[in-house]
Amino acid sequence: MLSRQTFKLFMTTTLLCVASVPLSACVHPELISDSAKMTQGTGTPVLAVTETTAVGTVNLDSADDPEIWVDPSDSNRVVIYGTDKKAGLYSYDLNGKVIDFLTVGPMNNVDLRNDALGLPVVVAASDRIGNGVRFFKLDPATLKTTDWGFASLATSEAYGFCLGKTTAGDLVAIMVGKNGDVAQATVSVAAGKPVLSETRRFNVGTQSEGCVVDDVNQTLYIAEENAGIWMYSLDPATGPQRKALASLPSDVLKADVEGLTLLRDGQKTYLIASSQGDSAFAVWRVEGSPVYQGRFSVFPGSGIDAVTGTDGVAALGGQVGPYTKGIVVMQDDMDTEGEALSTTRARQNFKIVDWKEIEAKLSLK
């Protein structure tokens, strides 16, 4: 865990390095992408429909994880969240324009749930400095997000994070420590602020980050970056019991395995995983026994560059603005102007893909 003093020193040193020497000479691991710096991925080509404004931290590994909210009563009202793991939390509209930026410090992964804790929307993120969970409130009337408070959930370093709901309706927070240690807690409210009651700890094995909870099936998915994807029950009484969904090395996933997300399409549920090593996304149907569906990559086109080296990915099925079956949003490690192909990490942003195109290109049924 970095203290605030240590983080300030790291950032000062980093900025001096960036200003004085080429980025390749700055060897701090926060500045080195896990990707092979490909110009485009190896999966079935799809195109993005739009992209967000780039994050504000220039020449740094800063954009990380997105999440999507749609107003249940008006699908044209959309908020896309994106973490800046050096500075805070962005919110964007469906055209990729910035709604707001909360300078709350390094946020790594973000998730949300509707109708939780007596609020219409609860947003939460892994707070790398506090080593716990930072909570936010989204006001559906104004689409403004406010900082609600911090709750400690210490691990080796607050890294991966996801929310879930139990069958009883309780909100659950899952923190995946950078070293693969996992803490699970039930979220409640005391004196108007979020609090956490820890219910389980276990260890995945090695460095892990991506996680997502299937509320319907009460399943927790965790990506162990160099090993594969694991399935756990959300029930804390099951402890560390798990099953492997996919293992490395394989033709489906190339290390590092990063972001995980779920998309519901009617009665079907799809799990999407970021195969960062070859800039692709693997897809499974998981409403029953998992069935592999194929891989896609976002290629350059329609004036937008390719998506490479993705960390975080989010998806939402159903009507999302003009997109009748939903969208997928993913971090792009090397954003460039127009369709230019590049391996120079000048900036980062988030790309938006119409799920209908992925569905068609992979012949999903």
Query: Would you state the structure tokens that stand for residue 260, as one six-digit string?
Result: 């995980």
Query: Would you state the structure tokens that stand for residue 285, as one six-digit string?
Result: 């149907």
Pick from 17-21, 35-39, 287-291, 360-364: least confident: 17-21
Cα atoms in the Cβ-side hemisphere of radius 13 Å centred on 225: 20
CA distance 15 to 11: 6
Tell me, what's the pLDDT at 29?
52
Q: Which of 337, 261, 333, 275 is nearest to 305 (CA)?
A: 337
Query: Would you state the structure tokens that stand for residue 318, as one six-digit string?
Result: 């159903």
CA distance 85 to 230: 25
CA distance 145 to 136: 7
Pick from 19-33, 113-127, 224-238, 332-346: least confident: 19-33
DSSP code of residue 95: T
Model confidence pLDDT, tens digit, residues 117-159: 999 999 999 999 999 999 999 999 999 999 999 999 999 999 9
CA distance 45 to 143: 33
Pick from 22-31, 54-63, 236-245, 331-340: least confident: 22-31
Q: Which of 225, 262, 267 is nearest to 246 (CA)?
A: 225
Tell me, what's the pLDDT at 33?
53
Tell me, what's the pLDDT at 1?
37
One-letter amino acid for residue 107 of the chain: M
Q: Are 345 and 333 in contact (CB under 8 A)?
A: yes
Model confidence pLDDT, tens digit, residues 24-60: 334 345 545 556 678 999 999 999 999 999 998 766 7
Model confidence pLDDT, tens digit, residues 297-330: 999 999 999 999 999 999 999 999 999 999 999 9
3-state SS assignment for residue 40: coil
Average pLDDT over every residue of 266-292: 97
pLDDT band at 162 (very low <50, low <70, confident <90, very high): very high
> What percent of the chain has pLDDT above 70?
89
Domain 33-361 CATH (choose: 3.30.260.10, 2.120.10.30, 2.60.120.1140, 3.40.50.300):
2.120.10.30
CA distance 158 to 146: 21
Q: What is the 3-state secondary structure (H, E, C) of 260-315?
A: EEEEEECCEEEEEEEEHHHCEEEEEECCCCCEEEEEEEEECECCECCCCCCCCEEE
